[in-house]
């Protein structure tokens, strides 16, 4: 790969290493320079550019990143699209993330050009959560380096997987002593049910009995007869010895105590046992609280089918100090009545705004949004594309013939908001849509109701490229170098959208913020195709 300043006559096909701004030109870093680009630069007085020019033995950063990600992804892990040398990997289901540390270390040690970063090994994850990212540092990877990477991946096999949570039937037993408060037991049931649900299980039964071995043996037998696939026991008194009430009762019920105690605080006094094939956990007192404790780690791995024997438990000491101390931030906020919020996953929370309020004047008497395309109303295509993507929610802005547009969308799971000022143009609808977005969204993709050839995959490509921290705060689709729609906006632009006027939407905001605009090439021309006239609709039908 050649890197450096080149005269224009040697730069065709090279990749811009630095953005170029000249009269009427704003070319971003990473742009592959065409002959037309070079002519524009020459006309603007530019004589040379700083570029990366790939040789025959170089593999483009996106191609390299995609190959590595696909080889590294194991069961229940999928790859996002490649963009600027990066591919993010996501959990396809809730479970426990499993990383091959040795394999990842070997891969990262091959060459500084190739990196992979992951969540911590054995972290609990939700469906859709980012678990890893592959990033190519330069613009290309030399083929000999890729050969070494391929050899490591072939030898190691997939480096990343998610062990899915299984929908286990879980039972809870609580023992009681004289004076045990009913409200404490009730709260424990509520907290435990939330925990069980969070790992995909179902709390099928809760029973209370005296804190003595004979009563607990009878209750254990009843839970087994009930079909419990896991039994949790919250004792009225903490377990202090292997011969205490809970372990004694488990053994009398025909079970085996596997391990007692763990180097995690809170959570030290946890007991693991088994009656036949049914795992039984004696809970530490901290399990009555919704805050993270050692029981969470053991429960997650048990439900995910991962080993959690003596060696695994006693290996939890490093990182096992969970008690909040003055020098540590306190992430486990929440009242005793509410569980702590789960950590945000790596994927941004994006909403979709479908603009469907226009008067459709150029279409004549027909409202184009309700006109049939491939057997369903045109606006339904835009809504279905949003619903097929990874957006968190879909807001549809109606106005002109609002009832008809709602009827065309039917019972699809969207939120409707009506723009009473639809006659004022696109900006009025955009303001209304942004105003009702849920609190906490990271951005919004603005979809036009008259673009029936935009797909959910197109939206996901935009979302995959979105990264404000890396300067990609406005993401625009392109086809053959021409910008189209929909556009994904970082939430920082919402206030400016609220001040818009006229029928031009937010296009001028793109021009004013070119330094944070990312262009994403698409696989099809649907991002340029809007249907405004009867002729355009006829051409669409003819093309089909």
Tens of pLDDT, residues 366-405: 788 999 998 899 999 999 999 999 999 999 999 999 999 9
What span, in angstroms and rounded, lies between the C-alpha atoms of 467 and 488? 11
Flag whether pLDDT at 280 surpasses 60. Answer: yes
Does residue 176 surpass a pLDDT of 50?
Answer: yes
Residue 333 has pLDDT above 70, yes or no: no
Q: Which of the four pLDDT bands, split at 50, 70 and 90, describes residue 196? A: very high
Position 73 pLDDT exceeds 50:
yes
Per-residue model confidence (pLDDT) at position 544: 53
pLDDT reported for residue 358: 85
Percent of the chain with pLDDT over 90: 71
**Predicted pLDDT at 501:** 75
- Structure confidence by residue, pLDDT tens digits, 459-518: 999 998 898 877 889 999 999 889 999 999 999 999 999 888 766 678 888 888 888 899
Residues 6 or more apart whose Cβ sits within 8 Å of residue 117? 132, 133, 135
Strand partners, 397: 355, 417
DSSP class of residue 472?
A: B
Q: Measuring CA to CA, how many Å separate 122 from each of 56, 162, 181, 439, 477? A: 41, 9, 36, 31, 36
Task: Decide which of 423 and 343 is more confident.
Answer: 423
Query: Mean pLDDT across the stretch 206-235?
Result: 97
The CATH number given to 58-164 is 3.90.1170.30
Residue 330 pLDDT level (bands cut at 50, 70, 90): very low
CB contact set of 368 (below 8 Å; sequence gap of 6+): 360, 378, 450, 531, 532, 537
The confidence score (pLDDT) of residue 225 equals 96
SS3 content of the chain, % helix, strand, coil (to 5): 35, 25, 40
Q: Where are the domains of the chain?
A: 2-53, 58-164, 169-314, 350-543
Average pLDDT, the chain: 90
Of 148, 65, 146, 152, the closest CA to residue 104 belongs to 152
- Averaged pLDDT, 174-197: 94
Can you give the pLDDT at residue 325? 46
> For residue 329, what pLDDT is reported?
41
| CATH fold for domain 2-53 | Molybdopterin biosynthesis moea protein, domain 2 (3.90.105)
* CATH topology match: 2-53 vs 350-543: no
Report the distance separating Cα 466 and Cα 129, nearest Å. 15
Tell whether the model's pLDDT for residue 345 goes beyond 60.
no
Helix intervals (H) in 480-522: 494-497, 507-512
The pLDDT score that the predictor gives to residue 426 is: 86
Exposure b/e, 347-380, CB count within 10 A at least 16 = b: bbbbbbbbbbbbebeebeeebbbbbebeeebbbb
Cα–Cα dist 475/466, whole Å: 6
pLDDT tens track for 225-240: 999 999 999 999 989 9
Please indicate whether residue 337 or residue 347 has the higher confidence score (pLDDT). 347
Angle at CA of residue 346, ends 340 and 349, nearest 5°: 80
pLDDT of residue 488: 97
- The pLDDT-based confidence of 209 (bands split at 50, 70, 90) is very high
Q: For the segment 144-159, what is each residue's pLDDT rounded down to a tens digit? A: 999 999 999 999 999 9
Please state the pTM of the whole predicted model: 0.75
pLDDT tens digits, residue range 105-156?
999 999 999 999 999 999 999 998 999 999 999 999 999 999 999 999 999 9
pLDDT in tens, 14-66: 999 888 988 878 888 888 899 999 999 999 999 999 988 888 899 999 999 99
| CATH dotted code for 350-543 | 3.90.550.10
In this prediction, residue 268 carries a pLDDT of 94
Cα distance between residue 413 and residue 410, in whole Å? 9
* pLDDT computed for residue 543 by the predictor: 57
The confidence score (pLDDT) of residue 343 equals 35
Q: How far apart are CA 359 and CA 200, in angstroms?
A: 47
Distance CA 460, CA 385 (A): 10
Question: 215-251 b/e with 16+ CB inside 10 Å = b?
Answer: bbbebbeebbeeebbbbbbbbbeebeeeebbbbbbbb
User: In this structure, which topology does domain 169-314 adopt according to CATH?
Assistant: Molybdenum Cofactor Biosythetic Enzyme; Chain A (3.40.980)
Q: What is the dihedral of CA 32, 35, 36, 38, to 10 degrees?
A: 80
Residue 284 has pLDDT above 50, yes or no: yes
């Amino acid at each position: 790969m050649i890197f450096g300043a080149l005269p224009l006559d040697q730069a065709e096909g090279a990749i811009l290493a630095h953005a170029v701004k000249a009269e009427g030109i704003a070319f971003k870093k990473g742009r592959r320079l065409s002959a037309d680009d070079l002519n524009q630069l020459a006309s603007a007085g530019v004589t040379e550019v700083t570029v990366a020019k790939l040789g025959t033995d170089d593999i483009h950063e996106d191609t390299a990143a995609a190959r590595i990600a696909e080889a590294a992804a194991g069961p229940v892990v999928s790859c996002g699209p490649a963009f600027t040398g990066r591919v993010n990997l996501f959990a396809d289901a809730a479970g426990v993330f499993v990383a091959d540390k040795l394999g990842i270390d070997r891969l990262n040690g091959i060459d500084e050009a190739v990196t992979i970063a992951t969540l911590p090994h054995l972290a609990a994850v939700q469906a859709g959560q980012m678990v890893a990212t592959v990033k190519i540092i330069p613009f290309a990877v030399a083929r000999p380096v890729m050969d070494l990477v391929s050899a490591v991946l072939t030898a190691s096999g997939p480096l990343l997987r998610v062990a899915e949570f299984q929908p286990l039937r879980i039972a809870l037993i609580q023992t009681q002593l004289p004076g045990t408060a009913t409200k404490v037991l009730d709260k424990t049931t509520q907290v435990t049910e939330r925990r069980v649900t969070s790992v995909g299980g179902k709390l099928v039964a809760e029973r209370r009995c005296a804190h003595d071995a004979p009563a607990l043996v009878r209750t254990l037998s009843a839970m087994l007869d009930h079909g419990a696939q896991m039994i949790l026991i919250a004792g009225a008194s903490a377990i202090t010895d292997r011969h205490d009430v809970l372990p004694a009762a488990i053994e009398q019920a025909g079970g085996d105590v596997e391990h007692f105690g763990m180097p995690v605080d809170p959570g030290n006094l946890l007991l693991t046992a088994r009656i036949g094939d049914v795992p039984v956990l004696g809970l530490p007192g901290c399990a009555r609280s919704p805050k993270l404790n050692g029981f969470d780690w053991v429960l997650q791995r048990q439900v995910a089918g991962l080993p959690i024997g003596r060696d695994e438990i006693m290996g939890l000491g490093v990182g096992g100090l969970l008690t909040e101390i003055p020098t540590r931030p306190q992430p486990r906020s929440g009242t005793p009545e509410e569980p702590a919020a789960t950590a945000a996953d790596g994927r941004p929370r994006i909403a979709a705004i479908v603009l469907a309020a226009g008067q459709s004047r150029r279409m004549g008497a027909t409202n184009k949004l309700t006109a049939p395309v491939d057997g369903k109303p045109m606006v339904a295509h835009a809504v279905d594309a949003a619903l097929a993507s990874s957006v968190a929610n879909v807001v549809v802005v109606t106005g002109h013939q609002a009832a008809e547009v709602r009827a065309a969308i039917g019972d699809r799971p969207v939120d409707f908001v009506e723009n009473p000022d639809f006659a004022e143009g696109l900006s009025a609808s955009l303001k209304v849509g942004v105003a009702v977005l849920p609190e906490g969204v990271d951005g919004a993709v603005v979809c036009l109701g008259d673009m029936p050839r935009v797909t959910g995959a197109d939206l996901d490509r935009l979302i995959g490229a979105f990264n404000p921290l890396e300067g990609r705060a406005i993401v625009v689709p392109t086809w053959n170098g021409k910008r189209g729609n929909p556009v994904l906006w970082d939430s920082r632009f919402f206030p400016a959208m609220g001040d818009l006027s006229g029928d031009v939407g937010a296009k001028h905001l793109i021009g004013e913020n070119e330094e944070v605009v990312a262009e994403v090439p698409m696989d099809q021309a649907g991002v340029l195709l809007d249907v405004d006239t009867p002729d355009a609709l006829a051409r669409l039908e003819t093309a089909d």
